[in-house]
Structure 1
Amino acid sequence: MSTTKYLLILPLMAAIAYMAVVALVYFSQRALLYPGAGATAAADHPSWGESVHVKTPDGEMLQGLYLKGDSDKPCLLLFFGNGDRVDNYAFLAQALAARRIGLLAISYRGYPGSTGSPSEQGLLTDGIAAYDWLSAHTGSKIVVLGRSLGTGVAVNTAAKRPAAGVILVSPYLSVLSVAQARYPFLPAQILLKDPFRSDLNIGEVRQPKLFLHGRLDDSIPLSSGQALYEIAPEPKRMVIYDGAGHNDIFNDGTVGDVIRFVEALQGNRP
Structure 2
Amino acid sequence: MLILPLMAVIAYMALVGLVYLSQRALLYPGAGATPAPEPASWGETVHVKTPDGEMLQGLYNQGDSDKPCVLLFFGNGDRVNNYEFLAQALATRRIGLLAISYRGYPGSTGSPSERGLLTDGIAAFDWLSAHARSEIVVLGRSLGTGVAVNTAGKRPAVGVILVSPYLSVLSIAQAHYPFLPVEALLKDPFRSDLNIAKVRQPKLFLHGRLDDSIPLSSGQALYRIAPEPKTMLIYDGAGHNDILNDRMVGDVIRFVEALQGNGP
TM bucket by the smaller chain? Answer: over 0.9
2:74 alignment partner in structure 1: 80
Alignment-derived partner of residue 100 in structure 1? 94
1:157-211 per-position Cα deviation (integer Å, ceiling 9, x unaligned): 0000000000000000000000001110000000000000000000000000000
CA distance in 1, matches of 2:100, 2:132: 16
Corresponding letter in the other structure for 1:12: L
- Matched residues in 1 for 2:239 and 2:38: separation? 32
**Cα separation, partners in 2 of 1:70 and 1:42, compared to 1, 3 Å:** farther
Q: Which residue of 1 aligns with 2:255?
A: 261
Structure 1 gaps, min length 5 = 1-6
- Deviation at residue 44 of structure 1 after TM alignment: 4.2
Does residue 54 of structure 1 match 2:48?
yes
CA-CA distance at 1:11 after TM superposition: 1.0
- Separation in structure 2 between the aligned mates of residue 16 and residue 221 of structure 1, nearest angstrom: 33
CA displacement at 1:42 relative to structure 2: 4.0
Match of 1:140 in 2: 134
Q: Sequence identity, in percent?
A: 86
1:166 partner SS: strand
Q: Distance in 1 between matches of 2:61 and 2:167?
A: 31
Pairwise CA distance, 1:87: 0.2
AA matched with 1:203:
A
Find the residue that maps to 1:143 and give its secondary structure. Answer: strand
Are 2:173 and 1:179 aligned?
yes
Aligned residues: 262
Cα distance, 1:139 vs. partner? 1.7
1:244 to 227, 234, 238: 238
Q: How many Å apart are 1:68 and its aligned residue?
A: 0.2
The amino acid that maps onto 1:58 is D
Q: Distance in 2 between matches of 1:166 and 1:42?
A: 31
Q: TM-score, normalised by structure 2?
A: 0.98
Amino acid in structure 2 at the alignment position of 1:69: G
Note if 1:67 corresponds to 2:61: yes
From 33, 36, 40, the equivalent of 1:39 is 33
Note the C-alpha offset of 1:250.
0.8
Rounded to whole Å, the distance in 2 between the matches of 1:265 and 1:52 is 26
Alpha-carbon shift at residue 43 of structure 1 (Å): 2.8
Q: What is the CA distance between 1:94 and its match in structure 2? A: 0.3
Task: Give, in whole Å, the separation in 1 of the partners of 2:17 and 2:39.
Answer: 41
User: Which residue of 2 is the match for residue 113 of structure 1?
Assistant: 107
In structure 2, give the amino acid aligned to 1:142: I
> How far did residue 54 of structure 1 move?
0.1
Q: Which amino acid aligns with 1:43?
A: P
The equivalent residue for 1:228 is 222
Deviation at 1:37, TM superposition (A): 0.2
More moved, 27-36 vs 41-50: 41-50
1:3 match: none
Which one-letter code corresponds to 1:16 in the other structure?
I
Q: Secondary structure at the match of 2:2?
A: helix
Larger radius of gyration: 1
Q: CA deviation at 1:80?
A: 0.1
Task: Give the corresponding residue for 1:130.
Answer: 124
**Deviation for aligned residue 1:45:** 1.8
| Partner amino acid, structure 2, of 1:70 | D
Q: Give the letter aligned to residue 8 of structure 1.
A: L
CA distance in 2, matches of 1:17, 1:53: 46
SS in 2 for 1:35: coil
Q: Secondary structure at the match of 2:30?
A: coil
CA distance in 2, matches of 1:102, 1:41: 28
Letter of the 1:134 partner, please give it: L
Match in the other structure for 1:23: 17
1:160 alignment partner in structure 2: 154
The runs of 4+ residues in structure 1 deviating greater than 3 Å are none
Report Cα offsets for 1:69-108 as digits up to 9, x if no partner.
0011100000000000100000000000000000000000
Q: Secondary structure, in 3 states, of the residue corresponding to 2:250? A: helix
Q: In structure 2, what is the Cα distance between the partners aligned to 1:119 and 1:97?
A: 32
Corresponding residue SS for 1:99? coil
